[in-house]
Amino acid sequence: MPKVGVFPVFNNKFKIEIASEMTDIAEMESFSVAIDGKVEEWSPFEEEGWTKRLMTGKSLTISLKGKRCVGDKGNDYIAGLAFKTGQDCNGKMQWEFPSGATLDVPCVISVTNPGGGDSTAVDGLEFDIMSNGKPTFTPAPAA
C-alpha cells in the first residue's frame, strides 16, 4: 500500500548496484536533485511573435553528501571510484521514495570529494549520480 502524507527526508533511500545486487550506501546525510530539461523553441508566423516550446529531453543529477565509512560495502564502492574514469564509473542507482515508489537510474558516478576537512572532523564523501539514459519509474504498490 502506498504511504501518503508528509515524511522526513531520511525516509528516502539510495542504493547502488554492486555485482548485480542493490546495496545501501552508509552514512549519507543529505541529497539534492537537479532535473535539466532540454527545451526546443520556435516562433511560427501564426503565433504572431510568441514563442512555442517543446520538452525534447531530460537529464537527472542527484548529489549525495555524507561521511566516509571504511568497511561499508556501498560507501567503499563509491569511494573507490574517485580516481577511475571511463566505463569504470558507470553503474545503476535506485532511489526509493517515502511512498514506496522507486526510480532505477542507469548512471555515471562522479566522486566530487573523497575526503578531507579539519583535523577533528569526520572524513566526508560526496558524489553525483548523473543519469546515463532513461530511468525507470515504478509507482508504489497499490492498496
Question: What does the pLDDT look like over 35-76, one tens digit per residue?
Answer: 999 999 999 999 999 999 999 999 999 999 999 999 999 999
pLDDT, average across residues 69-98: 98
What is the DSSP code string of 83-123? T--GGGGEEEEEEE-TTS-EEEEEEEEEEEE-S---TTSPP
- pLDDT for the residue 21: 98
All three cell numbers of 90, joined, read 558507470
105 burial via Cβ count (<10 Å: 0-12, 13-18, 19+): buried
- pLDDT for the residue 88: 98
- pLDDT for the residue 1: 63
- pLDDT for the residue 23: 98
Residue 2: is its pLDDT beyond 80? no
pTM above 0.75, yes or no: yes
pLDDT, average across residues 92-110: 97
Across the chain, the runs of DSSP E, i.e. the strands, are 13-18, 21-24, 28-42, 52-67, 90-96, 102-113, 124-131, 136-138
- pLDDT for the residue 105: 98
